[in-house]
A and B are shown apart, each in its own frame.
Chain A
Amino acid sequence: MTVLIDNLARFLSAIAGFITPLAIFHIAWSTLLGIIIGALPGLTATMGIALITTLTYKLSADLAILVLICVYVGAIYGGSRTAILINIPGTPANAATTLDGFPLAMQGLAGRAMGVATSGSVLGSFIGMFFLATIAPILGNYALKFQSYEFFWLAIFGIVISGHLTALEDPIKGWIAGFLGLLVAMVGQEGIHAYERFTYGTTELLGGFALIPAMVGAFGFAEVLTVMQNPPAKMADAPRDSVFPKILDVLRYWRTIIRSGLIGTLIGIIPGVGEDIGAWVSYAAARRKSKEKEKFGKGSIEGLMAAETGNNSVVPGAIIPALTLAIPGSAPAAVLLAAMFIHGLRPGPLIMVESPQFVYQVVAMVFFATLAILIYGVGLSKLLLKVLAIPKTRLMPVVFVLCAIGSYAITSRLFDIYVMIGFGVVGYILRQMKYPMAPLVLGIILGDLMDKNLRRGLVLTDGDLTPFFTRPICLVLWLITFSSIILSIDPLRHALQKAFHKVWSGSRRLFSYR
């Protein structure tokens, strides 16, 4: 009980800490910018956070993270507008939103659809925020028990699960992307003996590939190329009905909202599995449980609510492992994590020991960002329509200029611009061949963790692999990892299904009289 009151007090003091004119100013502009970035097709949350990170170098650490979280929450919400109005998801997270949002708009209910998206996003964020405040401290304390063996498996687990869930049709491509990311992370001086791997004498590569240029390339430049390749989209009409969220929609679908919020948070916690998957899984679950299944895909309020609650609840969910394990729950959270390191914060298992207050500050940041999207969601629809009308031929060159200068600004090296270009081109090609980007990014972040912990663990046990497989947490992690791989190999899965079926029918016969 005292712990609960303690934590509540920390949360409230964090809230109070952000009620200053300067903080409110930053919340206002960054959430608005986030919504605009999210609404513009081709500008994703990941790219937005990566670009805005370069604008936060001169801010204090807490204000910088506040700005980035506002951009993050704003972008995931902003994408719903585009999904509803022009049937194009503003960010990948809003793909499921198009299914019912656009049909609603076609029926002349664009305003109501936006209201549903607003209430879903706000409530989803709050549900995720609740779990961020309650789970993060527990997970943080629990993670203190993790040793090299657990961290090694956590890295592999993250890559395999993320690879599987982001490339459901062809998981091997997700895994390839993840391991390529690990390989990228191997470049540069390694952390144990300081040997320079794959640098071939270039001083620029000593520290490895910098994360922000790599991300700006893979998510920014690759996206610029894709957007310019696609034919231009048609503009939408302005909504005629009210965009004000209706309390009745919320009351009627409260079960869907809570279910989607829980699903989204859980998906967020899983490393490298982000908002898009959260929305799809919530949508599918809502349809399965719905009394009005036939409406799904034709303008279902429930479906729209599920998708928008699902994607926004992923945001706080994805921050949980980023804060407590330094393992990002989604691609935008990966950039957020990188930004935390740039600003001298040290997320990881020690966070609850070193700076417990910071966890609650992050909760408060999510709180303010959510309030801001509620206010903008109600007050802002004409401006967004204007923004959506900007032709991509004028927007994309400016976006690319920002990609270039943003990559350069961190260390003032032209080399980082070339890194951005390289990752952009490779990212574009991989994406065309259906390789997901999230596991790649996760691999780049987790590479160092895996490298150090595998070797450290092997030294500690003098080459004995047993602890890697027998320690309880390791056991769970490798069992899930391997079963994920085995179950995605068709012949193996069929064989397992057959065996299971035989055992099942055999045991049934055993217990029946005839």
Chain B
Amino acid sequence: MAMARADFFTGIALILLSLYVIIESWRMPRLEHLKVHPLSVPGVVTAFVGMVLLLFGIILVIRSIRRGGHRLKINHEGFRRLFNHSGNQRLLLTAILTMGYSIFLIGTLPYWLATGLFILVFILLFEWERGLNGVQRRRGLISAVLIAILSSAAITLVFERLFLVSLP
């Protein structure tokens, strides 16, 4: 049932995407002034791919409606369950950390610092558990700092010195 509902959404998204592709293909230049063969113009293949995707999108939607996938149940309870699921929380945290690192940190901070910070924060946030005593906390912190420093230094050195990449 969940899949039928997901297929309904994907089907609609696919139809919109393929319509967009078909319209764009139509708008692509025909290069008449160059006297090129009308079947070699840039839009031919994109239109073909767009039409195939349109067909697939329609099939997905029809199939999903037959299984009742268009009856959407959006309510607070569903959302709460989604966010309370521990796997989804870990997923969200991973997504925020990784994207924050690659979109905001890289390029603003020096590469080694950004990378070290990212690894440190990642390990600390995921390994932080309630009920750990002071010694365990300190041990976790020290090993996280060590991993962060070592991996950041190793990756920076290898790419900068060995592969001669000018790091961001």
A183 within 8 A of B: yes
A190–B39 Cα gap in the complex (Å)? Answer: 14
Q: Return chain A residues, CB-CB under 8 Å to B42.
A: 190, 192-193, 195, 197
B147 touching A394 by the CB < 8 A rule? yes
Contacts of B159 in A (CB 8 A): 405, 409
* The residue from B29, B48, B91, B147 contacting A195, defined by CB atoms under 8 A apart: B29
Rounded to whole Å, the gap between the CB of B91 and the closest CB of chain A is 4
Chain B nearest CB from A155 CB (Å) reads 11
User: Given that A58-B163, A455-B45 are known contacts, is A421 also in contact with B102, CB under 8 Å in the complex?
Assistant: yes
- Is B78 interfacial (CB-CB < 8 Å)? no
Interface string of A440-456 (1 = CB under 8 A from B): 00000000001100111
- The interface-forming segment of A270-278, A320-328, A412-420 is A412-420
Q: In whole angstroms, what is the CA distance A451 to B34 when docked? A: 20
Which chain B residues lie closer than 8 Å to A433 at the CB level? Answer: 3, 6-7, 10
| Chain B residues whose C-beta falls within 8 Å of the C-beta of A221 in the assembled complex | 98
CA distance A198 to B163 in the complex (A): 33
Q: Do A397 and B39 contact each other (CB < 8 Å), given the known contacts A55-B163, A229-B91, A408-B165?
A: no
Partner of A396, one of B94, B106, B164: B94
Are the CB atoms of A193 and B123 closer together than 8 Å?
Answer: no
A368-398 with Cβ < 8 A to chain B: 391, 393-394, 396-398
Cβ distance B20 to chain A, nearest Cβ, rounded Å? 10
A400 adjacent to chain B (CB < 8 Å): yes
Q: Which residues of chain B are near A172, meaning CB under 8 Å?
A: 56, 59-60
- Which of A54, A55, A190, A231 sits near B87, CB closer than 8 Å? A231
How far, in angstroms, from A54 to B155 measured CA to CA in the complex? 12
Considering only residues 54-98 of chain B, those with a C-beta below 8 Å from chain A are 56, 59-60, 86-88, 90-91, 93-95, 97-98
A121 CA to B118 CA, complexed, in Å = 38
- Chain A nearest CB from B70 CB (Å) reads 16
Selected from B7, B49, B106, the residue in CB contact (under 8 A) with A404 is B106
Complex interface: chain B residues within 8 A of A420 (CB): 102
User: Is the beta-carbon distance between B106 and A176 smaller than 8 angstroms?
Assistant: no
Check if B155 sits within 8 Å of A458, measured CB to CB: no
Q: Taking the nearest CB of chain B, how far is it from the CB of A164, in angstroms?
A: 13
Q: CB distance A414 to B168 under 8 Å?
A: yes
A365 at the interface (CB under 8 A from B): no
Which A199-232 residues sit within 8 Å CB-CB of chain B?
221, 224-225, 228-231
Is A493 at the interface (CB under 8 A from chain B)? no
Contact of A19 with B by CB under 8 A:
no
Q: How far is the CB of A463 from chain B (nearest CB, A)?
A: 5
When A224-B98, A405-B155, A459-B39 are in contact, do A394 and B123 touch as well, CB less than 8 Å? yes
How many residue pairs between the two chains, A and B, have CB atoms under 8 Å in the bound complex? Answer: 152
Contact: A401 with B46, CB < 8 Å? no
Q: With CB as the reference atom, state the residue of chain A lying closest to B7.
A: A433
Question: Which of A225, A405, A434 has the most chain B CB atoms inside 10 A of its CB?
Answer: A405
A182 within 8 A of B: yes
**B99's closest neighbor in chain A, by CB?**
A421
Q: What are the residues of chain B within 8 A of A224 when measuring CB–CB?
A: 94, 98
A175–B49 CB distance below 8 A? no
- Asked if B107 is an interface residue, CB under 8 A from chain A, the answer is yes
Q: Is the CB of A175 within 8 A of B56?
A: yes
B102 CB to closest chain A CB, in angstroms? 5
B168 touches A228 (CB 8 A): no
A419 to chain B, nearest CB (A): 11
Q: A397-B118, A454-B48 are in contact. Are A179 and B10 (CB under 8 A)?
A: no
Residues of B within 8 A of A459 (CB): 37, 39-40
For the complex, what is the distance from the CA of A265 to the CA of B97, rounded to whole Å?
Answer: 41
Residues on A with beta carbons closer than 8 Å to the beta carbon of B88? 229
Residue B41, interface by CB 8 Å: yes
Residue of A nearest to B115 (CB): A401
Interface string of A224-244 (1 = CB under 8 A from B): 110011110000000000000
Given A183-B53, A401-B115, A401-B151, also A408-B99 (CB < 8 A): no
Confirm or deny: A180 has a beta carbon within 8 angstroms of a beta carbon on chain B.
yes
By a CB distance below 8 angstroms, the chain B residues around A397 are: 97, 118-119, 122-123
In the complex the two chains form, is B46's CB within 8 Å of A186's CB? Answer: yes
Nearest chain A residue, comparing its CB with the CB of B151: A398
Minimum CB–CB distance for B140 against chain A, Å: 10
Q: Is A402 an interface residue (CB 8 A)?
A: yes
Say whether B90 contacts A229, CB under 8 Å: yes
Contact among A193, A417, A463 for B102, CB-based, below 8 A: A417
Report the separation of the CA atoms of residues A405 and B28 in the bound assembly, to the nearest whole angstrom.
36
The answer to the question of B132 belonging to the interface, with a C-beta cut-off of 8 Å to chain A, is no
Mask, B16-50, CB within 8 Å of A = 1, is 00000100100011010010111111101110111
A209 smallest CB distance to B (angstroms): 15
**Cα distance A456–B29 when bound, in Å?**
17
A459 to B155, CA, bound (A): 51
Report B155 CB to chain A, min CB distance, Å.
6
From B63, which residue of chain A is reached at the shortest CB distance?
A172
Contacting pair A458 B102 (CB below 8 A) = no
List 6 A-B pairs, Cβ < 8 Å: A183-B50, A197-B42, A228-B91, A229-B88, A412-B166, A455-B40
Q: Given contacts A193-B36, A433-B6, could you give 17 more A-B pairs where the C-beta distance is less than 8 Å?
A: A176-B14, A183-B46, A186-B46, A193-B34, A193-B40, A193-B42, A197-B28, A393-B122, A394-B123, A396-B94, A397-B97, A405-B165, A414-B107, A418-B103, A433-B7, A433-B10, A455-B41
Task: Report B's interface with A, CB cutoff 8 A.
Answer: 3, 6-7, 10, 14, 21, 24, 28-29, 31, 34, 36-42, 44-46, 48-50, 52-53, 56, 59-60, 86-88, 90-91, 93-95, 97-99, 101-103, 106-107, 115, 118-119, 122-123, 126-127, 144, 147, 151-152, 155, 158-159, 162-168
Question: Shortest 5 CB-CB distances between A and B: which pairs?
Answer: A397-B122, A458-B39, A393-B126, A195-B42, A229-B91
